[in-house]
């Protein structure tokens, strides 16, 4: 098989396009989650997720790296985001299911930053 034939092989082309799409959408999802976090969560939880903002301190926000938050399942964090908890408002009517899932993944990343 010559290089030209291999280059124009439709299967390789489709694979390359799919790989490009997956890589681009993954980084776009991470970027979307970060920007969503900045608009909806930073005010209380802080940019680093430690809750050391004036609002976070006054409302008793827990750090995402705390053992209590780290042991919560993704389902529990989703429930808290959707329904609210203590002084945290509910976001069920403001965010899509996909956005909440992205935020939970982003919160997990922040929590690992310690």
Q: Give the pLDDT score at 113.
A: 79
Give this prediction's pTM.
0.70
Q: How far apart are CA 55 and CA 84, in angstroms?
A: 16
Residue 70: CB partners within 8 Å, gap ≥ 6?
A: 64, 111
Q: Do 43 and 55 form a contact (C-beta atoms < 8 A)?
A: yes
Q: Residue 70: give its domain's CATH number.
A: 1.10.760.10
Q: Do 88 and 62 form a contact (C-beta atoms < 8 A)?
A: no
Q: Which domain holds residue 73?
A: 3-112
Q: How far apart are CA 107 and CA 26, in angstroms?
A: 16
Structurally, the chain folds into a number of domains equal to: 1
Mean pLDDT per 10-residue interval, the chain, length 114 residues:
57 59 50 90 95 94 94 96 94 94 94 80
């Amino acid at each position: 098989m010559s290089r030209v034939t291999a280059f124009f092989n439709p299967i390789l082309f489709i694979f390359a396009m799919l790989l490009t799409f997956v890589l681009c959408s993954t980084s776009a999802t991470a970027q979307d989650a970060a920007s969503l976090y900045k608009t909806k969560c930073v005010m209380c939880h802080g940019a680093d997720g430690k809750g050391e903002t004036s609002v976070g301190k006054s409302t008793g926000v827990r750090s995402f790296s705390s053992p209590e938050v780290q042991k919560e399942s993704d389902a529990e964090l989703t429930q808290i985001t959707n329904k609210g908890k203590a002084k945290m408002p509910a976001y069920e009517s403001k965010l899509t299911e996909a956005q909440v899932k992205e935020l939970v993944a982003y919160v997990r990343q922040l929590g690992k930053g310690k």
